[in-house]
Amino acid sequence: MTERFAARAAAYYTDKLSVYGATHRGVDWNSVESQELRFEQLLRLCDNGVPIAINDFGCGYGALVDYLVKTDRRFDYLGYDAAPAMIESARRRLAGVAGCAFTADRSELVPRDYTIASGVFNVKLDIGAKDWWAYVARELDGIAGVSRRGFAFNMLTAYSDPARKREDLFYAEPEAVFAHCMSRFSRSVALRHDYGLFEFTVLVRV
């Protein structure tokens, strides 16, 4: 299930990249501003003022590296994406940036202090909600396994306006996701649902 669902998501985003290029639209975000707001929320997990050793799970074309450079954060970064076209784009764009590497080979993900995942659990296509949540839970186990100090991810919220919901997207119950993380990973879990987007961010410290 995990490989099949990941492959379908990779094909979806490869198509977006081919149409919109290495831009926020190429990873299905509405604007650069909302994309960067998500990074801001996810990076609340990490200590300020010290180098960040971080895995970017579902890195796309490497926009998080742009944000880290823009905000003057020091980093040791590995970006992973299941879509080889995204990795090729990231490598071309960021070839001159020190401290970052990219891979489409999941086996090359190794434990780092932190792992973040932005937007990777949103697009379920025609997969049922129950099966998609089972996939998400497995992916969270994998993310936890390569995170020494913690991990962070975001999901669309079930509290989104009904008129704006799409059948091909997955809207999670924040309370259920919080409880899952508390019971499975850590008792130090934060959930942010207050930053103006139809989603929430979960920070898990271990």
Multiple choice CATH, 2-205, 3.40.50.10740, 3.40.50.300, 3.40.50.720, 3.40.50.150: 3.40.50.150
Question: Which carries the bigger pLDDT value, residue 2 or residue 150?
Answer: 150
CA atoms within 13 A on the CB side of 141: 8
Q: What does 61-89 look like in DSSP terms, one character per residue?
A: TTHHHHHHHHTT--EEEEEE-S-HHHHHH
Supply the DSSP symbol for 167: T
Tens-digit pLDDT profile for residues 130-178: 999 999 999 999 999 999 999 999 999 999 999 999 999 999 999 999 9
Per-residue tokens: 162:
């009904």
Residues 85 and 71: their CA atoms lie apart, in Å, by: 27
Q: Confidence band (pLDDT; 50, 70, 90) for 16?
A: confident
Predicted confidence (pLDDT) at residue 1 exceeds the cutoff of 70: no
